C-alpha cells in the first residue's frame, strides 16, 4: 500500500572521521556570527578545540548543556526563553537524540510566533529562519536526518511528536569517532533503536522501494557490527558501520517512519523513564512475532539482512530473523523482559491505553494493533 513518496534530506551531509574539523572550516568560510551549541557535559572536553577555534575567528559562541534526559515541554520552553536573548544565527546540536531534537526545535522557535503547543503534530510548524546543523554523538536516533522531534508533554505525561520539513537540518556532520566514548549500555540501546528504525520502515504498511534500500542496508550494517561496537568500544570500523546504519535509519524516519514497536515503547519512556532505545529493544522481538503473519515475505527479507540464511519457506526464515534479534539483544547485554526492569505487571492496561494514543505510528504497522492486542504484546514481553 504505497503512499506518495516525500523526502526532505539535509541540504548537506558530511560522513567522515574528523567531521567536526570540516564543520569548523565550513563555518569559518561563512563568516563570523552568533552560534548556539546544544550539547552534553561529557563532550565539552572534546569540543573545546572546536569552540576555541571559532571564538578566535570572531564568532560569538554560547554553549548549553541543560538537556540531560528525555526533554519535556517545560525543559524546552525554559531553554527557549534563555536563548532568545542571545538570538543566535546558527544552532548546532552535538549529542544524542534528545540534544538534537532540542537544537532542531530551538532553531525553529527562537523567532517564531507559534507556541510549542501549536506546532505539535504533523506539518504544523510553518517556518525556520535560523541555520540548523546537527552532529550526532551516538549512533542511534537518526534525528540528524529526520523531520521529527519528540518531547514529553508535562500536562499529560505523554510523548508528543513535532514533525515538519523545517526540522530537517541544513547540514549534517557525522563523525563516527564522536561515538567512541559512548558507554556499552548506551551503545547497545541506541544501536538497537537505529536497527528498529530500519526494520519498522522496511516492514511498514506504507513501505517504499526507495526507502527499502536504506532500511535493508541499515539493518545489515548494524546487525553485523553492533555487538563488536558494544564489546570493543574503540573498534573504529564497527563504530563507523553502526554510525552509517544509524544515519540510514534516520533517512527512513521522514518518508515512511516507524510503527508498532515505537508506539508501544512510548509509555515505557513516559511512565517509567526508560531510555527510548532500551524500550524499543525490549519490545522489538515481541512485536516482530505479532506482525510476522501479516508480512512473512518482508520479515523473511529482514532475516536475510540480519545475516540469516534462507529456509524453505518465508515463515521459517522470518522466525530465524526473530531469533537472531533475540541473540543480538542478549549479546548486547540488554534485558529481554519488562519484569527485569521492575515494571509492575498491573501497569500493562494503562501502558496499552497510552500506546493507543500514538495512532500516527500505529497506522503504519503491518498488522492492526487494538487495545487488547497491545495488552497481549506487553504480557508476552513481561
The pLDDT tens digits for 172-196 are: 999 999 999 999 999 999 999 999 9
Does residue 3 sit within a domain?
no
Tell me the mean pLDDT in the region 117-137: 96
Supply the mean pLDDT for the chain.
95
Closest Cα to residue 264, out of 377, 346, 379?
Answer: 377
Does residue 4 sit within a domain?
no
| pLDDT digit string, tens, across residues 19-75 | 999 999 999 998 879 999 999 999 999 899 999 999 999 999 999 999 988 899 999
Do 175 and 188 fall within a single domain?
A: no
Q: Does residue 240 surpass a pLDDT of 90?
A: yes
Band of pLDDT at residue 3, cut at 50, 70 and 90: confident
Q: Which of 179, 213, 228 is the last residue of a domain?
A: 179
| pLDDT digit string, tens, across residues 156-176 | 988 899 999 999 999 999 999
Band of pLDDT at residue 1, cut at 50, 70 and 90: low
Q: What is the helix, strand, coil percentage profile of the chain, to 5?
A: 55, 10, 30
Judged by DSSP in three states, 51 sits in helix
| pLDDT digit string, tens, across residues 71-84 | 999 999 999 999 99
* Number of domains the chain contains: 2
Do 210 and 345 fall within a single domain?
A: yes
- The pLDDT, as a whole number, for residue 357 is 95
User: What does the alpha-carbon distance between residue 134 and residue 101 come to, in Å, rounded to a whole number?
Assistant: 9
Do 36 and 76 fall within a single domain?
A: yes
Domain extent for 273: 184-381
DSSP 8-state code for residue 153: E
Amino acid at each position: 500500500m504505497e503512499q506518495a513518496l516525500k523526502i526532505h534530506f539535509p541540504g548537506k551531509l558530511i560522513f567522515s572521521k574528523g567531521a567536526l574539523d570540516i564543520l569548523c572550516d565550513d563555518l569559518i568560510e561563512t563568516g563570523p556570527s552568533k552560534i548556539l551549541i546544544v550539547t552534553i557535559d561529557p563532550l565539552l572536553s572534546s569540543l573545546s578545540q572546536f569552540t576555541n577555534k571559532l571564538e578566535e575567528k570572531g564568532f560569538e559562541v554560547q554553549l548549553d548543556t541543560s538537556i540531560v534526559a528525555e526533554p519535556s515541554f517545560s525543559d524546552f520552553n525554559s531553554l527557549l526563553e534563555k536563548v532568545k536573548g542571545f538570538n543566535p544565527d546558527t544552532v548546532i546540536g552535538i549529542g544524542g537524540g534528545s540534544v538534537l531534537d532540542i537544537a532542531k526545535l530551538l532553531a525553529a522557535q527562537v523567532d517564531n510566533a507559534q507556541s510549542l503547543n501549536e506546532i505539535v503534530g504533523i506539518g504544523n510548524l510553518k517556518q525556520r529562519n535560523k541555520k540548523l546543523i546537527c552532529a550526532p554523538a551516538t549512533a542511534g536516533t537518526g534525528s540528524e536526518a529526520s523531520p521529527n522531534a519528540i518531547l514529553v508533554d508535562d500536562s499529560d505525561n505523554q510523548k508528543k511528536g513535532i514533525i515538519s520539513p523545517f526540522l530537517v537540518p541544513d547540514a549534517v556532520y557525522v563523525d563516527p569517532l564522536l561515538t567512541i566514548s559512548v558507554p556499552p549500555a548506551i551503545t547497545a540501546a541506541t544501536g538497537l533503536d537505529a536497527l528498529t528504525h530500519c526494520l519498522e520502515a522496511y516492514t511498514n504498511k506504507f513501505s517504499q522501494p526507495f526507502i527499502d534500500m536504506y532500511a535493508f542496508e541499515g539493518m545489515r550494517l548494524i546487525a553485523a557490527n553492533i555487538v563488536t561496537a558494544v564489546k570493543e568500544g574503540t573498534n573504529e570500523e564497527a563504530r563507523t558501520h553502526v554510525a552509517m546504519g544509524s544515519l540510514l535509519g534516520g533517512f527512513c524516519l521522514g518518508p515512511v517512519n516507524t510503527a508498532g514497536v515505537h508506539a508501544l515503547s512510548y509509555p515505557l519512556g513516559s511512565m517509567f523513564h526508560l531510555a527510548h532505545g532500551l524500550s524499543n529493544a525490549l519490545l522489538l522481538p515481541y512485536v516482530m512475532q505479532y506482525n510476522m503473519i501479516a508480512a512473512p515475505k518482508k520479515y523473511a527479507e529482514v532475516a536475510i539482512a540480519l545475516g540469516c540464511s534462507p529456509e524453505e519457506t518465508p515463515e521459517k526464515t522470518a522466525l530465524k530473523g526473530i531469533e537472531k534479534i533475540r541473540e543480538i539483544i542478549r549479546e548486547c547485554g540488554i534485558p529481554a523482559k519488562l519484569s527485569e526492569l521492575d515494571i509492575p505487571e498491573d501497569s500493562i492496561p494503562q501502558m496499552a491505553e497510552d500506546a493507543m494514543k500514538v495512532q500516527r505510528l500505529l497506522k503504519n504497522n503491518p498488522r492492526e494493533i487494538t487495545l487488547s492486542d497491545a495488552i497481549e504484546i506487553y504480557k508476552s514481553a513481561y
